[in-house]
Amino acid sequence: MNRRRFLHTTALTAACSVISGCYRARSRASVPLPGNDCDLAPVLVSPDREIRTVVGLRPHRPSGFVVRAEKLGEKLIIHNYGHGGGGITLSWGTSQLATELLPGEPSSPVAVIGCGAVGLATARLLQDRGLHVTIYASELPPNTTSNVAGGQWLPFDVFEFGKQSTAFMNQFLRATEFAYRRYQTLLGARYGIHWIRNYSLRHGEFDEADLEGMQSPIRKFMPEMRDLSEAEHPFSGYQHVRKYDTMLIEPPIYLNAMLTDFRIAGGTVRTVKFEHVTQLQQLAERVIFNGILLGGLFQEGEWSLSVDEATRARVLRGHAQFFGSFRRCSRTSLKDFQPDHAIGTNRSNLAV
Ligand SMILES: Cc1cc2nc3c(=O)[nH]c(=O)nc-3n(C[C@H](O)[C@H](O)[C@H](O)COP(=O)(O)OP(=O)(O)OC[C@H]3O[C@@H](n4cnc5c(N)ncnc54)[C@H](O)[C@@H]3O)c2cc1C
């Protein structure tokens, strides 16, 4: 995925997640999701309505995430990091791949480094196998990058198209499928997960082989995908509008529930900051899962965690302009018509 496409898709996906949030949230999806695309309530965007600004990093390699085992003296380290913009999405999947690297049927306690979405999913899968797990992390929820993620279920911005190997693609598709299925077992208020509709807006045509294309390798994980005619959507100035359904994971709720599950299952959490790899050799556990790396704005090469005021103002202006340009549209396609869902019911339910 090149940088321009990367920026474009993300900005719109972010906006559309908000738009989707304007519908009444239902955890179990009726298929397709109820509601008319003309019935989207524009978000009221202005600086005085801003609650907080968060900054997070999404490190990734052009070739994709890393799941592999490595020996460090007597210890076996199983790496699982570099999920870029898709670590919430992929967490269960890459963690499953990571646990498959455990040799035999170990019974001794294992260590997991990191208490974000990836570490917690790894820990839970290991507990499912009957293992005693200790999580070692310098920060716990709510202070992880996973907590500030949007939480849209989409394995996007994880690698650069053309720079990934066939072997990686196999891992990516296996991880995506496993995670897609696992999250559906967690739908509902307790984990803060529900289905939402997404809109992808373009001035130029879609690349149908790309991740949001009709021939996308992950097409089957984006149900109800179809293009909307101009009469079916309120987005002024966009010639190409595509919609599809995915899940939304609300990180603070989800991570809390995961941590609770982990503790109920007998897991131990220790707060520790590792400054050097040799510290790992001092851990009691012989097997260590390393789920540290993190996944906003897409500014390549930018590592600062400080809020850039000019960028913040630009984001606010851009969103205000986008939502301010909504036009009226009235067409209800037969596919979308749901007699029990009165048009306009949620107009007052604005999410900022
Ligand atoms: C603004 C933003 C929006 C995003 N939106 C989405 C989205 O919509 N969907 C999606 O799937 N993904 C999204 N992501 C990406 C996602 O947040 C990350 O890929 C994911 O959170 C990575 O999870 P993690 O558990 O590896 O990392 P983290 O959540 O950062 O957890 C890392 C853990 O490791 C610990 N740790 C790190 N270093 C050390 C050390 N030296 N010693 C001890 N402990 C250490 C930390 O304390 C923490 O507990 C987004 C990211 C950002 C920044």
Torsion of CA 179, 156, 297, 147, to 10 degrees: 0
Asked if 106 and 316 count as a contact pair (C-beta separation under 8 A), the reply is no
Q: Does some domain include residue 118?
A: yes
d(CA 237, CA 54): 30
DSSP H/E element including 271: strand 268-271
- How far apart are the CA of 319 and the centre of ligand 1, in A? 25
Provide the pLDDT for residue 216.
Answer: 94
* pLDDT value for 287: 87
Q: Residue 293 and residue 312: Cα distance in Å, rounded?
A: 25
Residue 93 in contact with residue 70, Cβ under 8 Å?
A: no
Q: Contact at 8 Å (CB) between 250 and 151?
A: yes
- The residues, any chain, with a CB within 8 Å of residue 24's CB and separated by 6 or more, are 345, 346, 349
Helix pair angle (117-128, 87-99), 10° resolution: 40
Ligand 1 atom closest to the Cα of residue 293 is: 26
* Residue-level pLDDT at 351: 25
CA of 56 to the centre of ligand 1 (A): 8
Residue 317: left if φ>0, alpha if ψ -120 to 50, beta else—which one? Answer: alpha
CATH of the domain at 272: 3.40.50.720
Taking Cα atoms as reference points, which of 50, 98, 57 lies closest to residue 76?
98
Distance CA 43, CA 322 (A): 9
> 94 C-alpha vs ligand 1 centroid, how far in Å?
14
Cβ-proximal residues to 253 (8 Å cutoff; 6+ apart), any chain: 189, 190, 191, 192
Cα–Cα distance, 225 to 32 (Å, whole number): 10
User: How many angstroms is it from 119 CA to the middle of ligand 1?
Assistant: 9
On whether residue 70 sits in a domain, the answer given is yes
β 240-249/226-228 pair status: antiparallel
Mutate to test the pocket of ligand 1, among 145, 180, 290 (most ligand atoms within 8 A of CB): 145
Q: What is the number of other CB atoms lying within 10 angstroms of the CB of residue 242?
A: 20
CA-nearest residue for atom 52, ligand 1, is 149
Beta bridge partners of 113: 136, 290
DSSP class of residue 104 equals S
| Pairing mode, strands 75-81 and 66-72 | antiparallel
Token digits for 127?
């507990």
Residue 286 lies in a domain: yes
* Residue 154 pLDDT: 95
Please give the tally of structural domains in the chain.
1
Measure 146 CA to ligand 1 centroid, in angstroms.
4
37 belongs to a structural domain: no
**∠ CA 333-238-209 to the nearest 5 degrees?**
85
Domain that holds residue 84: 66-157+251-290
Query: Is the Cβ–Cβ distance between 177 and 36 less than 8 Å?
Result: no
Token readout for 30 is: 């009726």
* pLDDT values of the chain reduced to their tens digit, one per residue, 352 residues: 333 333 333 333 333 333 333 344 444 555 567 778 888 888 888 888 888 887 888 888 899 999 999 999 999 999 999 999 999 999 999 999 999 999 887 779 999 999 999 999 999 999 999 999 999 999 999 999 999 998 999 999 899 988 999 999 999 999 999 999 999 999 999 999 999 999 999 999 999 998 999 999 999 999 999 999 999 999 999 999 999 999 999 999 999 999 999 999 999 999 999 988 888 889 999 888 886 432 356 677 777 877 788 887 887 788 778 777 788 887 654 444 333 222 222 222 222 2
Give me ligand 1 centre to Cα 113, in Å.
12
Nearest protein Cα to ligand 1, atom 35: 114
146 part of a folded domain: yes
Burial label for 158, CB within 10 Å (0-12, 13-18, 19+), is buried
- Using an 8 Å Cβ cutoff, are 276 and 225 in contact? no
| Residue 313 within any structural domain of the chain | no
Helical axes 166-184 vs 87-99, angle rounded to 10°: 110
Q: Quick check: is 79 in a domain?
A: yes
Q: List pocket residues of ligand 1, CB cut-off 6 Å.
A: 56, 58, 83, 85-89, 113-119, 137-139, 144-146, 148-152, 272-274, 291-296
Ligand 1 atom showing the smallest separation from residue 292 Cα: 34
Are the beta carbons of 319 and 110 closer than 8 angstroms? no
What is the C-alpha separation between 177 and 175, in angstroms, rounded? 6
- Is 194 within the bounds of a domain? no
For residue 8, the cross-strand partners are none
